[in-house]
Amino acid sequence: MTGKWQTLGVLYAIVSFGFSQIFFNLVQVNPRAFPVAPGFAIWTLLWLQVIPLAILFLLDRFTASNDLTLRIWRAVLCLLLAASLLKQFSVFHQDFFTHFLRFIPAAILYGLVCGCVLVIMVISPRLAHGIQTYLAFAGILALAFPIIFLYSLFSVTNQHPQGVVQNSDVCERCNSSIYVVVFDELSLQALLKNDKIDASQFPNFAALAGDSIWFRNATTNHWGTVNSIPSLLTGKINPTYSDATILDFVPSNMPKTVLLSEVEVENWLRYSHNANAGIEFRGKGFFLNRHPWLTAKFIGYRLWGFFTFHLPQNILFDDPEYHVTTAEQEDLFLDAIQSRQPQFVMWHCSLPHSPFIYGADGSARHEYPDFFPFEKEYKTSSFPLIFSRYREQARFADLILGRILERMKSTGAYRDSILIVASDHGLRIWGDVFNNVDLLARVPVFFHIPGREPAVIESNFQLCDLAPTLLDAFGCSPSIAKFDGFSGLHPAPPDRIASLHFYPAKVVYDLNPATNQWNLSANAEHGVGGIVAPLQRGFYAVHVFDDVMAAREERTDFLTRYLDRHFPISVTDQDVQQLKRQIQQMQNEPTTARYQFTRGMYYFFLALTETQLVADGEKLDTREITSHWITARDLLKLSGGLSPWIGESVGQLIEESDRNHDKQLDEKELSAIIRNRRGGLK
């Protein structure tokens, strides 16, 4: 084989492995948007990258070229191959790499693997020849990676399956235009001042609230866009591909334009059975197809995130390119309003989602903070700055809303059309979502309906109610079995409870109408409810970010006993000693496991001091309660060293404990002190 063909094989292999990693990451991030199952992708990658190496010794019959360029390419690809294998194995915490090499930091392990590959290439000509054979032949075979990736990405953009709505359910009364604006991550709480929308900071939201039907207590059903938008469109809390959307209920001859800022949601809508051929998509995929340089940058960010051994959220989603379609989509939306023909136009605007690069006037910052609310590591003290940047970008969203209202009024569309303004979910503070449920769950929802008087509706309204409410505004009432939601124009069922779903942990929060507080649902897969909620909130926090439990089972069983038990609980000296042993053993566990265990200890400490403790069936007196508090404080201090990520909150809690442990406190005083510390874990 000539050096030319060998070099070509090496180049093919490099490109293939690069695309395979993007494909692998995309499938893992959003498997629903791709027709290739994650399991198939994983095994395909391992098969094409591992098995050829195992059989190279049987196939090694070619002489290696001495071409320096080829040798350099070969060395580079060998390093990429080793890193790729290590990365893919390290994703799954149960595999042998986690258990075998968990004591070696990732950076050191990365260096060791690279060094070993180089040494083996030097001292083992036979293996080097075999690798070269693989690069020249199996490397060409690896072209299957970009082919599969491109097929998965673009096949869904070319499918328009027929909808599933019966003709009798199509709302022929939809004879006026419908404009839907859904902002991304806009929390109602951020708009409020003294329980009203702050007119000085958000004048257009305030004006719309006074001139429309404002669902004052609206909540989202999901914590993320890829679940919220389908729920909003289908009226289903957990929609499937076969569920119909609003687009299927409006007449088929009505033009429909959908502007989306999430490629995953666009793929879902195109690939689902409810997307019909009459929809014009102008999403991020449409934009990137016309801007290959930006597409290349997206690929570069993903590869860089992969080779830095983690995929930071600010690289994966929150790079400035996240807002790359905002200006063009605004122009398209405003231009659509000019049409006098009845139409359906929906815009999912990327604002005020991070990165927070815009000021209130829409001017972009050249420098933006390198921390985001999508990081587990950010400190509590950073939140005021993060939130201020977030509100600035929310004010820019208000400015855009003002332009929309102005255009609609100048063209007469405001008088004749239905306008819906909402948000897919509120602000997510990753790493501490469970302490900020209200900020995440409560969203603004406004319906401007011609002929309807403005009103503030305080009853239960959820995003899954948006579709049936819209159809009800036209006087259409498809079978209630088609929706989980209800029309917000009629009183909600008295026993209805708002629910908020977290993924991939399948944790569900319910809003208690009596206390207006969020509690873990008794119907959730992991939910127990009741006073156990603080413990579960800590224990399952990391589940939201790591689908696979990082901690060893024997480390978590002890805390699980308290999660699954209804209070009051008893704590014995034996329990305390066992906890101390677990803390010591956790020193050698992976970082995520230590983080998880420390959060569990934090809430275990709160639960001990917030509940009525019993010992041997007898109520503890004040002195015994204080004694248990001090014991838990010492345990917390031990566990606080396991994870620097939450050290600030742990330190504050311990400091407060030190100030009070000498006092003889009654139960009310004790509970008050600890309740003041709830929500402090950031």
What value does the mean pLDDT take over residues 657-674?
A: 47
* More confident position, 565 or 443: 443
What value does the mean pLDDT take over residues 261-277?
A: 65
Please state which of the ranges 26-30, 258-262, 418-422, 581-585 shows the lowest mean pLDDT: 26-30
* More confident position, 598 or 532: 598
Q: Are residues 146 and 97 in the same domain?
A: yes
* More confident position, 148 or 374: 148
Are 441 and 516 within 8 A, CB to CB?
A: no
Confidence of residue 570 (pLDDT cuts 50, 70, 90): very low
* More confident position, 196 or 248: 196
Residue at 508 is within a domain: no
The CATH number of whichever domain residue 221 belongs to comes to 3.40.720.10
Q: Give the alpha-carbon dihedral of 582, 588, 592, 598, to 10 degrees.
A: 30
Are 285 and 157 within 8 A, CB to CB?
A: yes
pLDDT of residue 395: 97
* More confident position, 360 or 261: 360
Backbone Cα Rg of the chain: 28
Total residues found in the chain within this entry: 682
Q: Which of 436, 465, 491 is the last residue of a domain?
A: 491
pLDDT of residue 519: 72
Please state which of the ranges 14-23, 189-198, 407-416 shows the lowest mean pLDDT: 14-23
Q: Are residues 125 and 195 in the same domain?
A: no
Are 245 and 464 within 8 A, CB to CB?
A: no
Residue at 307 is within a domain: no
Q: Are residues 89 and 187 in the same domain?
A: no
Q: Are residues 40 and 145 in the same domain?
A: yes
Q: Are residues 202 and 251 in the same domain?
A: yes
- Give 105's contacts (C-beta < 8 A, 6+ positions apart): none
pLDDT of residue 404: 98
pLDDT of residue 252: 80
Q: Are residues 232 and 355 in the same domain?
A: yes
What value does the mean pLDDT take over residues 442-469?
A: 95
What value does the mean pLDDT take over residues 386-399?
A: 91
pLDDT of residue 179: 98
Our count of domains for the chain comes to: 3
What are 173's two structure tokens?
């009364």
CA distance 533 to 528: 7
Q: Which of 435, 470, 491 is the last residue of a domain?
A: 491
Residue at 82 is within a domain: yes
Q: Are residues 545 and 601 in the same domain?
A: yes
pLDDT greater than 70 at residue 268? yes
Q: Are residues 13 and 112 in the same domain?
A: yes
What value does the mean pLDDT take over residues 342-363?
A: 91
Interior angle at CA 377, CA 376 and CA 382, nearest 5: 110
Q: Are residues 150 and 201 in the same domain?
A: no
Q: Are residues 365 and 433 in the same domain?
A: yes
What value does the mean pLDDT take over residues 563-588?
A: 56
Q: Which residues pair with 445 in a beta bridge?
A: 422
CA distance 592 to 643: 9
Residue at 305 is within a domain: no
What value does the mean pLDDT take over residues 368-394?
A: 66
Are 197 and 191 within 8 A, CB to CB?
A: yes
Query: Which amino acid, 495?
Result: D
pLDDT of residue 117: 59
Confidence of residue 285 (pLDDT cuts 50, 70, 90): low
DSSP letter for 615, please.
E
What are 666's two structure tokens?
């009654």
Confidence of residue 332 (pLDDT cuts 50, 70, 90): very high
Residue at 464 is within a domain: yes
pLDDT of residue 239: 84
Q: Give the alpha-carbon dihedral of 589, 316, 548, 603, to 10 degrees.
A: 70
pLDDT of residue 420: 98
Q: Which of 470, 508, 499, 464 is nearest to 231 (CA)?
A: 464
Give 635-657 pLDDT, tens digit per residue: 555 655 554 444 455 555 555 55
Beta strands 507-512; 517-520: pairing state: antiparallel
Residue at 380 is within a domain: yes
DSSP letter for 523, please.
T
Whole domain around residue 363: which residue ranges? 176-290+319-491
Q: Which residues pair with 621 in a beta bridge?
A: none
Q: Which of 97, 125, 157 is the last residue of a domain?
A: 157
Are 334 and 347 within 8 A, CB to CB?
A: no
Give 139-150 pLDDT, tens digit per residue: 555 555 555 555
DSSP letter for 283, please.
S
Are 117 and 78 within 8 A, CB to CB?
A: yes
List, as one string, the DSSP characters of 173-210.
T--S-EEEEEEES--HHHHEETTEE-TTT-HHHHHHHH
Q: Are residues 477 and 618 in the same domain?
A: no
pLDDT greater than 70 at residue 443? yes
pTM for the whole structure: 0.62
Q: Give rounded-to-5 percent helix, strand, coil for the chain.
A: 55, 10, 35
pLDDT greater than 70 at residue 510? yes
pLDDT greater than 80 at residue 411? yes
Confidence of residue 8 (pLDDT cuts 50, 70, 90): low
SS3 state of residue 498: coil
Residue at 304 is within a domain: no
Q: Which of 249, 232, 228 is nearest to 472 (CA)?
A: 249
**CA end-to-end span of the chain:** 60
- Burial label, 57 (beta-carbon count in 10 A; 0-12, 13-18, 19+): exposed
Tell me what percent of the residues of the chain surpass a pLDDT of 90. Answer: 22
pLDDT of residue 559: 40
Q: Are residues 153 and 261 in the same domain?
A: no
pLDDT greater than 50 at residue 290? yes
pLDDT of residue 247: 87
CA distance 428 to 441: 9
pLDDT greater than 90 at residue 72? no
Residue at 62 is within a domain: yes
